Structure 1
Amino acid sequence: MSQLFSPLEVGGLHLPNRIVVAPMCQYSAEDGRATDWHLIHLGQLALSGAGLLIIEATGVVPEGRITAHDLGLYSDDTEAALGRVLAGVRKYSAMPIGIQLAHAGRKASSQAPWDGGQLVTPAEGGWQTVAPSPLPHAPGEASPAELDEAGLARIREGFVDAARRSARLGIDLIELHAAHGYLLHQFLSPLSNHRIDRFGGSLENRCRFPLEVFDAVRAAVPPTLPVGVRISATDWVENGWEIEQSIALCQELERRGAAFIHVSSGGLSPRQQIPIGPGYQVPLAVEVRRNIEIPVIAVGLITEPEQAEAVIASGQADMVALARGLLYNPRWPWHAAAKLGAEVSAPRQYWRSQPAGQKSLFGAVRIGQR
Structure 2
Amino acid sequence: MSGLLVTGLGVVAPTGIGAEAHWAALLDERPAIGPITGFDAERYGVTLAAQIRDFDPGEHVSTQLMVQTDRWTWTSLAAATLAAADAGYQAPEDAYATSVFLASGSGGNEFSQHEIQGLWAKGPKSVGAYQSIAWFYAASTGQISIRDGYKGPSGVVVSEGAGGLDSIGWARRVARRGTPAVLVGGTEAGICPYALLCQATSGRLSTATRPEEAYRPFDRRADGHVIGEGGAILLVEEPSAARARGAEKVYGEVAGYGATHDAYHSEDPAPDATQYARAIRLSLADAGVGPDDVDLVVADAAGTPELDALELQAFAAVFGDRTTPVPVTAPSSWTGRLMAGGSALNVATALLAMRDGIVPGIAFLDDPVDAPGVDLVRHPRVQDVSTVVVVARGFGGFNSSIVLRRYAGGMS
- In proportion to residue count, which structure has more strand? 2
**What is the TM-score with the length of structure 1 in the denominator?**
0.31
Q: Which has the higher contact order (CA 8 A, sep 6+)?
A: 2
